[in-house]
Amino acid sequence: MKITLTKKMTLVFAFSSIIMIGMFFLVTKLIIDNTFESYIYDNQERRNQEIVSYLESTTTLSHDVLMALSHNAMTEGYYLTLRDTNEEVIWTSHNHSSRMMPHSHSQRHTSTSSDHYVESTYSIYQNNNLIGYVDIGQYGSLLLSDSDIKFKNTLFTGLGIVAILGLVLAIFIGYFIAKQLTKPIITINDTANLLERDLSSRVSIRSNTFEIDKLASTINHLASTLEQQELLRKRLTSDISHELRTPLNVLQNQIEALLDHIWEPTPDKLKICYEEVVRLTRLVENLDKLTDLDAHISSLNKKTLSLNELIQTVMIQFETMYLEKKIFLKFESDENVLINGDKDKLKQVIINLLKNAYHYTSENDFVKVSVENASHHVIIIVEDSGCGIKKEDIPFVFERFYRGDSSRNKATGGSGLGLSIVKEIINAHNGTIRVESTEGQGSKFIISLPK
């Protein structure tokens, strides 16, 4: 059976309080009992020594002396028995039924299990000569006076009341703390449930508890991520729909015109249809590439290779198209840099970055690829002096199918997968990639790869 966090924390506080208060009560009772026992023993021993001293100072056991001893014994509830050196009883203060243990010349204590009778024997000396013995006995119930018993009972009653009040207070405090802790959690949970319908919802609480504040920040970050992903999903759907609709419309119009004999099936008209079919084929290939991206990007065939040689080989493939557009392509590196990586996939990274730079760089601009050898990493920088990226588009440039060009000009906009593939490959190599760009001044893609 599941219970609420508030109830669970309250029960924990209550259970912990019961244990702590119970331990406190037991320890306190033990201390009080031991203290009273020591107090009783000290008082009894002092009284017994006073009786022995009185007998040793008395020259004769006159009637007045015996009456005084009997009166004190009756008043304070103890029993006296006087014996001579032969241990024969010569006088007793009361008749009682306690069984006397064998006498000796040393102090002893006896107790029966039925009446808890305690008896001590002391030797009596005068002028360093033994003149007899005195037995001083008392029942256990009489070891404490009425005032002692009343004080002890009052003390235990007070402790009991304090324990009960402490338990009630602990339960109240536990419930209050539990409510304070669970209130923001409930708020966070309500916001999380609201995200199913409204991704713009955010947790607005601020807590002094680090973990709760961290949880709220995490939920808000998750909500922001989901909201961005939802926007990207909608944009992806729109992109795919647009990419499919445009060539299909062209094909439909061309074929309808041919069927209605508006146009003759000339090579030029058929070429238009062919180009649109090629465009559709390319789009399907990009979608297949998107599917294969997650399935195969992590399987790397790593080996040691020259990064300079790999980059220059790719740049040679782009020289012709760059020259035709009058874009200056340059490579810079102070030394030959070796890296442990997948040659084909790293080659794809350079190809995609150079394609991206080509699309967004105008005539008489430049594209520069540089390699820097750091202590534990290799830095690759692809920099261009093209049109740059809008500030609001920079966080999304590595998202799939994302293109900042809302006009969807086919002359500048690719499929929107190139930079996504770059990022996935770099991540698979345990590297990082980031972009620095200013609109109208160009962009700089910075890659960091472990050696």
Residue boundaries of the structural domains of the chain: 5-148, 196-296, 298-450
- pLDDT band at 44; cut points 50, 70, 90: confident
Which stretch of 291-295, 344-348, 382-386, 409-413 has the lowest confidence by average pLDDT?
A: 409-413
pLDDT value of position 366: 94
Most confident of 102-106, 141-145, 304-308, 394-398: 304-308
Residue 43 has pLDDT above 80, yes or no: yes
pLDDT value of position 294: 62
Buried b (16+ CB within 10 A) or exposed e, 368-400: bbebbbeeeebebbbbbbbbbbeeebbebbbbb
pLDDT value of position 296: 60
pLDDT value of position 24: 85
Q: Looking at domain 298-450, does it have CATH number 3.10.20.30?
A: no
Residue 343 has pLDDT above 90, yes or no: yes
Which stretch of 163-167, 194-198, 352-356 has the lowest confidence by average pLDDT?
A: 194-198
Quick one: how far is CA 269 from the chain centroid?
A: 67
Residue 309 has pLDDT above 90, yes or no: yes
The CATH number of 196-296 is: 1.10.287.130
Residue 227 has pLDDT above 70, yes or no: yes
Same fold for the domain at 5-148 and the one at 298-450?
no
The span from the CA of 144 to the CA of 75, in Å, is: 13
- pLDDT band at 82; cut points 50, 70, 90: very high
Task: Report the sign of the C-alpha dihedral through residues 154, 159, 160, 165, in that order.
Answer: positive
The span from the CA of 317 to the CA of 319, in Å, is: 6
pLDDT value of position 101: 37
pLDDT value of position 74: 86
CB 277, CB 404: distance < 8 Å = no
pLDDT value of position 197: 80
- The two beta strands, 129-139 and 79-83, are antiparallel
Mean pLDDT of 81-91: 91
Residue 98 has pLDDT above 50, yes or no: no
* Burial class (CB within 10 angstroms; exposed 0-12, middle 13-18, buried 19+) of 146: exposed
* CA proximity to 66, closest of 126, 137, 134, 117: 134
- pLDDT band at 329; cut points 50, 70, 90: very high
Q: What pLDDT, in 10s, does the model give residues 356-410?
A: 999 899 888 999 999 999 888 999 999 999 989 988 888 888 877 666 654 444 4
Residue 220 has pLDDT above 70, yes or no: yes
Quick one: how far is CA 448 from the chain centroid?
A: 32
Mean pLDDT rounded to a whole number for the chain: 82
Residue 179 has pLDDT above 60, yes or no: yes
Position of tokens 């009972």?
Answer: 153
Q: What pLDDT, in 10s, does the model give residues 132-147?
A: 999 998 876 556 667 7
* CA proximity to 25, closest of 33, 13, 35: 33
Which stretch of 152-156, 337-341, 372-376, 447-451 has the lowest confidence by average pLDDT?
A: 152-156
- pLDDT band at 9; cut points 50, 70, 90: confident
Mean pLDDT of 162-166: 84
pLDDT value of position 298: 58
Task: Report the sign of the C-alpha dihedral through residues 270, 275, 277, 278, in that order.
Answer: positive
Which stretch of 93-97, 232-236, 321-325 has the lowest confidence by average pLDDT?
A: 93-97
pLDDT value of position 33: 82
pLDDT value of position 51: 92
Question: What are the CA-CA distances from residue 286 to residues 132, 250, 365, 415 (Å)?
Answer: 121, 20, 29, 7
pLDDT value of position 160: 84
pLDDT value of position 290: 64
The CATH number of 5-148 is: 3.30.450
